[in-house]
């Protein structure tokens, strides 16, 4: 079970005035919501079981069905999630917080065709799944069944704290060697948590804030390190060849680099904060590359204050330092952005978009490389003819 994460929510369109242009979109949204709710309510269960409310959970294809009994504060539960016969599913309540640690869970699996339910308390992020009593009452022993490629867990629980609002978690994973194996730690498996009110039936994604911050972390770093910094480097390398672009190219270069650095540092800091909140879950390579990028980019900032005059004999060493560190940042940033995308696992469009951006920048760079070299060589030839080989030459 993951740390507290809210399931992703689709942005809600804002309706401006009484414009009828929004009506088709609103109709589609309502129809989609009605279809999801209809699929949830149309579910059937063995033994003539029926439930008054249901919630189509946002990830892992799961659904939760329940009937709340206000008289004694209990709820009859049916949790259903798709899985292969060689997998397991689980659902639970965390009475002490909104993360994985402390969750009281029911885990369904099968061995030799016999389906069983294990109850346990996840006391850490790497728990031992011993069959133990839960911290709240379970008046009716839990049971489970497997049919149609899905597990269904049945249980009656006394809601902890005698309150209808509960932090719930659910999960699915593989079985290996007849034992329950850890679930994946990416994608939807990191989004399976929400707060549910068993009385009203309303739910709020318990990890939406965290998921939003993860997405913001990715966007800030992608735009800062992955777009603005390479763009600024291209401006410095190619525009300065054109005499009419001097000194505008320099200010454009500085603007891109400072903006990219500011966004990148904001995303880097947010990443460190997210990492500190994910006890037991560390993406070491992604984190270490991010720290290296920050350190190298900070050196580039200091390079602005240490830049010697063009005629200074140390300028050649400064140029070598400035160029090598800058290109190192660009390469490391591209590598780390792809690592971040593999961790976050957004819809494929995000990775495709970044690949298109990189390909576009690379294509433009190749064209400008050919053009500027042609200009520089022609200029050198002309200067040599006039006896001034270094008069207006530009080093690339």
* 69 known member of a binding site: no
As a whole number of angstroms, the distance between CA 66 and CA 40 comes to: 11
Backbone angles phi and psi of 119, in degrees to 5? -110, 135
Q: How many CB atoms lie within 10 A of CB 158?
A: 16
* 18 known member of a binding site: no
**Exposure class string for 371-384: b at 16+ Cβ within 10 A, else e:** ebeebbeebbeeee
As a whole number of angstroms, the distance between CA 98 and CA 106 comes to: 17
Torsion-angle region of 95 (φ positive above 0: left; ψ -120 to 50: alpha; else: beta): alpha
As a whole number of angstroms, the distance between CA 275 and CA 273 comes to: 5
∠ CA 182-186-190, nearest 5°, is: 85
Q: How many CB atoms lie within 10 A of CB 170?
A: 25
Strand partners, 47: none
* 217 known member of a binding site: yes
Strand partners, 120: 105
What are the start-end ranges of the E strands in 274-367? Answer: none
DSSP letter (8 states) at residue 8: P
* 322 known member of a binding site: yes
Token pair, residue 129, equals: 């799944």
Residues found in the chain = 396
- Residue list for the binding site for heme b: 217, 253, 286, 322
Annotated binding site: 217, 253, 286, 322
């Amino acid at each position: 079970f993951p740390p507290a994460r809210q399931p992703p929510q689709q942005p809600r369109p804002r309706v401006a005035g009484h414009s009828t242009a929004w009506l088709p979109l609103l109709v589609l949204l309502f129809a989609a919501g009605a279809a999801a709710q209809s699929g949830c309510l149309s579910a059937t269960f063995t033994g003539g079981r029926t439930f008054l409310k249901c919630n189509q959970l946002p990830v892992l294809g799961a659904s939760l069905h329940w009937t709340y009994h206000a008289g004694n504060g209990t709820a009859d539960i049916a949790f259903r999630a798709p899985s292969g016969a060689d997998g397991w599913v689980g659902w639970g309540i965390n009475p002490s917080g909104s993360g994985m640690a402390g969750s009281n869970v029911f885990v369904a699996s099968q061995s030799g065709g016999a389906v069983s339910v294990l109850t346990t308390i996840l006391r850490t992020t790497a728990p031992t799944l011993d069959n133990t009593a839960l911290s709240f009452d379970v008046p009716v022993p839990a049971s489970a069944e497997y049919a149609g490629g899905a597990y269904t867990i049945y249980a009656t629980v006394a809601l902890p704290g005698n309150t209808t609002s509960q932090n719930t978690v659910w999960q699915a994973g593989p079985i290996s060697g007849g034992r329950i194996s850890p679930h994946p730690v990416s994608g939807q498996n990191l989004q399976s948590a929400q707060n549910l009110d068993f009385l009203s039936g309303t739910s709020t994604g318990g990890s939406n804030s965290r998921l939003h911050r993860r997405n913001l972390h990715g966007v800030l770093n992608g735009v800062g390190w992955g777009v603005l910094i390479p763009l600024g480097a291209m401006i410095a390398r190619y525009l300065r060849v054109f005499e009419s672009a001097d000194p505008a190219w320099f200010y454009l270069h500085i603007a891109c680099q400072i903006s990219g650095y500011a966004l990148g540092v904001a995303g880097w800091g947010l990443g460190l904060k997210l990492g500190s909140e994910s006890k037991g879950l560390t993406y070491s390579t992604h984190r270490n590359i991010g720290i290296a990028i920050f350190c190298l980019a900070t050196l580039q900032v200091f390079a602005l204050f240490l830049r010697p005059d063009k005629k200074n004999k140390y300028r050649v060493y400064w140029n070598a330092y400035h160029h090598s560190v800058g290109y190192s940042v660009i390469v490391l940033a591209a590598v780390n952005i792809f690592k971040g995308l593999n961790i976050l696992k957004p819809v494929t469009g995000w990775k495709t978009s970044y690949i298109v951006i990189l390909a576009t920048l690379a294509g433009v760079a190749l064209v400008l490389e050919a053009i500027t070299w042609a200009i520089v060589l022609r200029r050198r030839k002309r200067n040599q003819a006039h006896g001034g080989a270094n008069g207006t030459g530009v080093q690339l």
